[in-house]
Structure 1
């Protein structure tokens, strides 16, 4: 079985399993096993390159696991996020492409701060995706990332060490009580909190079966942790500071009302590239 035949087989299996992007996933799994880029795999398919028995078996095993809807990122151990490639796996929320917009809003807010050293925080950092994007894309900023899941914190620590962002500090703490030493001193607070209501079941098996529940569910109405983030951010931010919150596509109006009732100003919701409400910003 050469690379093209193996890819054709993988695409067929993944299509039958209703994996959303079977061609891309098949190429990425082969690339992972062979230690190549996706483009190099495509080139090998065109030239009819062959694989040895061990490589073929490794790919077929991963294809079956992906067909069972195990996340691609768990199989490869990597997740792309903006300019970063992060280590991910069981116990940590896999960063999503739509969260890149949330990071951009935080980056823009940091860049707008007139201070030579703007200060920001990521509450509930998970893999460290947002915090590391802030730290690497605004290198003159000081960023602190807060996480209270031991398993997620290990992934965040690994990613921080790999990226080598010296302007990032990781703190193991509950976001409700975190960082009292920084009260009133931060310019930007960003968070992608759990926001799914307890009664709602995520559509995608990759999310429903593999992402940690603590990163998904936000209480009866989905907004318990959002309320906690609002309270903590009001404590941490200086007057005029910016809060950036990710949320579900049907929660924009409710979150704007929540933030306004908490005393925030200029609450506004931004849509993602698919036109869905994705993040709400507000001013302290």
Structure 2
């Protein structure tokens, strides 16, 4: 009888709103930058619904509540949200991520978009320091590029990159070091667009626990001045790009003048332009091969 089943059903469920409020408080106390967003994303993950539908959910099962509390406790220990969810959103993609690969950041979407806007049908595009493949796969997803080459050095990151690239036949994964001047030597003068989000944080810079404890250091730090990888990338771009080809390189917000100057000093680039992110901070530089 419904009258008899209702008490048992209620005993096995708990209201969602107090669970979310407790999660937000716990994450806020732990110093998480966006406690409400993170709490809601974790709840949506546990319930297997879009975050936008949480407003329609009144209660959750006891087992779901327990799982949510466990995930919130892990997030409070500053384990990256993306590691708990198993994916990172980037433009129109959901990328698999976890330990051993850099979690793509929203600000890099601007560099990817810049490259996408300059990719013509049939173009050859190279993504250096590809990591999870965020830039390369966005180009493959949003353009009719003829060939996209994603270069990564780390064996752990390559595992994630290959997994993410499986759905995109146009993407070729290459294990290689971007500081090697002989990298992709068969493509000298053939590349239309080259993009790179390299390690660029100056050594010794304080970073959040999610970065220091989980992002690979080799994907974050770029030497004493943060430019140890960017310098050879500029030289490599100069030999890979065809005349008129485009290059875009993300950098630290302290490099707003330094990276454009390096591009100009090389002598093989014109149309050097500095770009800010949505917060107004210097974020990437672009140029065109003479």
TM-score between both structures, scaled by the size of structure 2: 0.91
**Counterpart position of 2:143:** 138
Preserved contact between residue 119 and residue 145 of structure 2 (Cα < 8 Å): no
**Counterpart position of 1:244:** 248
Distance 1:197 1:275 in 2: 20
Preserved contact between residue 102 and residue 244 of structure 1 (Cα < 8 Å): yes
**Counterpart position of 1:168:** 171
**Counterpart position of 1:96:** 105
Q: Are residues 1:189 and 2:198 paired?
A: no
- Among 178, 184, 195, the alignment partner of 1:179 is 184
**Counterpart position of 1:23:** 36
Q: Are residues 1:51 and 2:61 paired?
A: yes
Q: What is the aligned-residue RMSD (CA, Å)? A: 1.2
What SS does the corresponding residue of 1:275 show, helix, strand or coil? coil
Cα distance, 1:82 vs structure 2? 0.3
Q: Are residues 1:209 and 2:213 paired?
A: yes
- Among 15, 32, 52, the alignment partner of 1:39 is 52
Distance 1:235 1:140 in 2: 20
- Among 18, 21, 25, the alignment partner of 1:12 is 25
Between the two proteins, the alignment pairs up a number of residues equal to 273
Distance 2:69 2:123 in 1: 49
Distance 2:24 2:172 in 1: 42
Distance 2:148 2:106 in 1: 21
Distance 1:181 1:2 in 2: 61
Preserved contact between residue 266 and residue 283 of structure 1 (Cα < 8 Å): yes
Preserved contact between residue 79 and residue 85 of structure 1 (Cα < 8 Å): yes
What SS does the corresponding residue of 2:193 show, helix, strand or coil? strand
**Counterpart position of 1:85:** 94
Deviations 1:195-222 (A, max 9, x none): 11112222x2212221100001111111
Preserved contact between residue 77 and residue 87 of structure 1 (Cα < 8 Å): yes
Preserved contact between residue 146 and residue 178 of structure 1 (Cα < 8 Å): no
Preserved contact between residue 270 and residue 279 of structure 1 (Cα < 8 Å): yes
Cα distance, 1:78 vs structure 2? 0.8
Deviations 1:227-252 (A, max 9, x none): 11111111111111111000111202
Distance 1:271 1:142 in 2: 29
Distance 1:108 1:182 in 2: 22
Distance 1:195 1:140 in 2: 28
What SS does the corresponding residue of 2:73 show, helix, strand or coil? helix
Deviations 1:66-122 (A, max 9, x none): 1111110011011100010111111111000100000011112214xxxx4111100
Q: Are residues 1:259 and 2:263 paired?
A: yes
Structure 1: tracts of 5 or more residues without a match:
none
Q: Are residues 1:75 and 2:84 paired?
A: yes
TM-score between both structures, scaled by the size of structure 1: 0.93
Cα distance, 1:140 vs structure 2? 3.6
Which has the larger Rg?
A: 2
Distance 2:193 2:56 in 1: 45
